[in-house]
């Protein structure tokens, strides 16, 4: 995202590899006597993206990025009284790998390797129910934001630490006690941290 010092040294395209950790809201956390179940919604994160800068305004670089990110298999945190209507066991789901399209902006002060960046856009997400047919699968477009600080390692390579938030709205569960089915309104939101290595080509 942006050159080290001058506009002339800039390369428009870059590839980005990221590792991190993310937390899914509304994931099953077990209890004090079920240690193996704790942390269903906490998982390692891997992301790959291709980015391009389109415009330069002095020290601000604007562009776009398309990426793919791994998902997670977890159980949902549904009120036990509601679950008891359908057998009492937590619902197991898989959030499929996610695709996103982000607008990007980076601020590169002159004569310093440190820069700030913000990315915002949409993420296409899918949730599949694994262990029953009485709950619905979901496909949703979510709002995504990333923000952080980075440092240039060379004219082409940079390293950044970013917050990532992916938001679909509140996840609600409705149980139909007549038909013994359940409905999930949204895919759980995510909050995570990414360590990203970018290389300009």
Position 194 scores a pLDDT of 98
Tell me what pLDDT residue 41 has.
Answer: 87
C-alpha span between 98 and 111 (Å, rounded): 37
Please give the model's pTM, rounded to 2 decimal places: 0.87
What pLDDT score does 70 carry? 97
Q: What span, in angstroms and rounded, lies between the C-alpha atoms of 70 and 19?
A: 10
pLDDT tens-digit map of 96-127: 999 999 999 999 888 899 999 999 999 999 99
The whole-number pLDDT of residue 30 equals 62
Instruction: Please state whether 111 falls in left (phi above 0), alpha (psi between -120 and 50) or beta.
Output: left
| pLDDT value at residue 3 | 47
Determine the pLDDT at residue 166.
Answer: 98
Return the pLDDT at 86. Answer: 81
Paired strand residues for 49: 16, 67
* Residues ≥6 apart with Cβ < 8 Å to 179: none
Angstrom distances, CA of residue 12 to CA of 8, 37, 63, 98, 133: 11, 45, 9, 25, 47
Asked whether the beta carbons of 68 and 97 are under 8 A apart, the reply is yes
User: What are the structure tokens assigned to 35, written together?
Assistant: 């240690």
Give, in order, the Cα–Cα distances in Å from 127 to each of 117, 131, 137, 138.
Answer: 30, 13, 6, 5
Class of domain 7-200 as given by CATH: mainly beta
pLDDT at 111: 84
Domain ranges of the chain: 7-200
Per-residue pLDDT at 5 exceeds 50: no
CA distances to 14, 19, 22, 37, 81 from 7, rounded to whole Å, are 15, 29, 35, 52, 61
CA–CA gap between residue 49 and residue 131 (Å, rounded): 32
Residue 92 has pLDDT above 80, yes or no: yes
- State pLDDT tens for residues 121-179: 999 999 999 988 989 999 999 999 999 999 999 989 999 999 999 999 998 989 888 88
Mean of the pLDDT values across residues 82-94? 87
Tell me the pLDDT band of 8, cut-offs 50, 70 and 90.
Answer: very low
Rounded to 5 degrees, φ, ψ at 84 are: -60, -25
Condensed to tens digits (0 to 9), the pLDDT of residues 15-48 reads 999 999 999 998 887 654 444 444 688 999 999 9
């Amino acid at each position: 995202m942006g050159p080290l010092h001058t506009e002339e040294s800039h390369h428009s395209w870059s590839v980005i590899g990221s590792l991190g950790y993310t937390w899914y809201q509304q994931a099953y956390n077990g209890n004090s006597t079920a240690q193996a179940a704790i942390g269903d919604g906490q998982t390692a994160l891997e992301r790959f993206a291709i980015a391009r800068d389109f415009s330069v305004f002095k020290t601000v670089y604007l562009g776009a990025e398309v990426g793919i990110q791994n998902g997670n298999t977890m159980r949902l945190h549904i009120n036990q009284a509601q679950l008891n209507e359908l057998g009492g066991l937590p619902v197991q789901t898989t959030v499929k790998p996610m695709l996103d399209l982000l607008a990007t902006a980076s601020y590169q002060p002159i004569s310093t390797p440190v820069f700030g960046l913000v990315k915002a856009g949409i993420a296409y997400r899918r949730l599949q129910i694994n262990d029953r047919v009485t709950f619905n699968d979901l496909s949703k477009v979510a709002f995504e934001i990333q923000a952080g600080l980075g440092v240039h390692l060379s004219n082409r390579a940079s390293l950044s630490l970013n917050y990532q938030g992916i938001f679909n709205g509140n996840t609600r569960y409705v149980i139909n006690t007549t038909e013994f089915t359940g409905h999930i309104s949204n895919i759980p939101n995510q909050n995570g941290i990414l360590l990203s290595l970018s290389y300009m080509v």
